[in-house]
Chains A and B, each alone.
Chain A
C-alpha cells in the first residue's frame, strides 16, 4: 500500500514498544483491580442478598443482669413508640417466634444422616427481598423455604469441616440440600420438605415465611404471647449518623452495623482504589506517550502530508494509516491484558469459589470485560480524534 509506504517513514519502533509496554502494564493493573474487586466482593460485602440494606435489626445488649432476669431484653411498648417517633425511621416490624417443637433432618451421601432440634422465626414479608416464588408458603404446599445466618456456614466450613476432614461447601451447594422438618405440638406431628433459600448476615435467626409460622402456631402452638426482643427498622438512609447516635445512647445493638466486616471492606476498597488509580496513571501516561509519538511522527511527515493534500487526498484518508496503527496496537494491548488477568484470576479463583456461589463469580468476568471494552472504546476514540486533529493542523 503506497500510503503506508509513504507515511510509515520516521516511525519510531522504541516509542511504540514503550506504548505497548506501559499500556499493557497500566491496563493489566486496572482490569486486574476490577476483576479482583468483583471476585472478592462477597468476602466483605455486608449486604444480605435478600434483606434490603435500608433495614436494621435492633436488639438490647445482653448483660449479666439480664441473664439474672433483673433487666429485661424485651422492648416495652413505650420504647417501641419512642423508636417509631425517630425521624430516620420509616417503619418497624417484629419477629414472630415458633411456639412448637421442630426437628430438622438431613440425609445425604456426603454427610450421612443427622438431625437437630431447632426453632423458626419470621418477619413481615415486605422486609424480605427474595424472589417471590422462592419465599411463599401455603397450606397446600408440603414445603418450607428457610433462611439461615451466614455465620452457620462459615462455622461449618472453617471450623467443623476442616477439623473433621469433611468437604467445604459453597452457598450454592447448601441451597440444593434437601431437609426434612418435623413439627410437633398439641399432640400432633407433621413432616415437611425444606430447603435453604438464602443466607443472612444481619439476622441471627432461622427464618421461615410468616404465613407458615402463623398457620403452624395456630395448629401446633401454645397460646402464650411474648414481647419482641428484636425489632426490624426500615430507615430512610442507613448511613444517617443519627442512627448510630440514637441507638448508642439507648444501649441498643444494631446487628452487623459497621462491624469488623465494614472496616475490612473499607480498607479493601481503599487498597483497590489505590491500585486502580496507579493503573489509571500508568495508562494515562501510556496514552500520552502514544499521542506524543504519533504527533511527532505526523510532524516529521509534515511535508509529505501537505503534498498528499495538494494532490487532492483527504485528511481522512491520510489519517487512516496512523489511526489503524494506533488502534491495532491498543487492541493488541487489551487482548494481552485480558489474557494476563484471566491467567492470574485462575490462580486465586479456585480458593474463592469454594466459599462463594460459582454462578456469581462467573458473571463477574463479563463485568471486567465490559469495563475493559468501555476503556478500550474511550482510548480508541481519543486516538482517532487526536490523530485527525493533528493531520488537520498539519495541512489546512
Chain B
C-alpha cells in the first residue's frame, strides 16, 4: 500500500465550525509511504478518531478515506484483517493489551499471526526497552509505562506500510522514549514505511517531513 488519502473527512460528532482551523478535517490530504508526519493538536480534536478511521475501527465520518484508491468504508472483514496484519500498525492510546497474559505473551499473540519476528528478536526488543525483568510477568502487574513499552514492541511485530502512534509515549520519561523512538525509527526505516505520530505538540525524537495541525 503506497498512499492513504483523506478526502474531506470529518467526524460526525464535530460540526463544521468546530473543525474550521484543522489542516486535515474537511481537507484533501495524502499520506505517503516513506514519509514521517507529526499530527498535533490539543485534546479533544479527534486524534484518536482519525486513527480509528484509518484503522477501519469506526465508520462514523463523512467524506472518504482511500487506501491506494480503495474506499475504506467498503472494506470487508477479510480486507480489514489483511490491512491490520500487513499494512497498518497502530499503537493504541489505551494499549489494548490482554491483562490475562504475560508481557511476552501479549507480543507473541500478535507475532503468531504475522510470524514477522523471531523469539530472539522479540527478547532483544524487550532488552532494548529495558523491561527484560518483566518479560514473564502478568500484564496486570506492570506499570503504565511498562505496558506502553509492551504495546510499542507488539506494534513492531508485523509488516507495515504505515505505523500509527497515538500518544504512544505519554507515560515515558525522556530517556525511555528516546530509546523507544530509536527502535521505532529503525523499524520504520527498514520497512520503508510511513510514520504518523499523534501528539499534543511534543515532537519526541523523530524527524518529520510534515507537521500538520489537526
Contact = CB atoms under 8 A, between A and B. Distances in A.
Interface of A: 2-3, 5-6, 9, 304, 307-308, 310-315, 396
A312 B77 contact: no
Contacts of B81: 312-314
Interface in B96-140: 96-98, 100-101, 105, 108-110, 112-114
A314 B112 CA distance: 13
B112 A310 contact: no
18 contacts: A2-B105, A2-B112, A3-B109, A5-B100, A304-B100, A307-B97, A310-B55, A310-B84, A310-B90, A310-B96, A311-B85, A311-B109, A311-B110, A312-B84, A312-B110, A314-B77, A314-B78, A315-B77
A6 B112 CA distance: 14
A6 B84 contact: no
A319 to B, nearest CB: 12
A312 B92 CA distance: 14
Contacts of B82: 312
A311 B101 contact: no
B101 A307 contact: no
B98 A6 contact: yes
B95 to A, nearest CB: 9
Interface of B: 55, 57, 77-78, 81-82, 84-85, 90, 92, 96-98, 100-101, 105, 108-110, 112-114, 158
Given A304-B100, A307-B97, 16 more contacts: A2-B101, A2-B105, A5-B101, A6-B100, A9-B100, A304-B98, A307-B96, A307-B98, A310-B90, A310-B92, A311-B84, A311-B109, A311-B113, A312-B110, A313-B81, A396-B77
B77 A6 contact: no
Contacts of B100: 5-6, 9, 304
Contacts of B84: 310-312
Contacts of A6: 98, 100-101, 109
A396 B59 CA distance: 11
Q: Residue among A307, A312, A314, A396 with the most chain B CB within 10 A?
A: A312
Contacts of A9: 100
Contacts of B57: 310
In this complex, the member of A307, A311, A312 whose beta carbon has the largest number of chain B beta carbons within 10 angstroms is A311
B183 to A, nearest CB: 20
B113 A313 contact: yes
B118 to A, nearest CB: 17
A312 B114 contact: yes
Contacts of A315: 77
Central interface residue in A310, A314, A315, by most chain B CB within 10 Å: A310
B97 to A, nearest CB: 8
Contacts of B109: 2-3, 6, 308, 311
B145 to A, nearest CB: 20
Nearest to A7: B100
A5 B99 CA distance: 11
A154 B1 CA distance: 85
A175 to B, nearest CB: 64
A351 B8 CA distance: 84
A315 B108 CA distance: 19
Contacts of A2: 101, 105, 108-109, 112
A52 B113 CA distance: 65
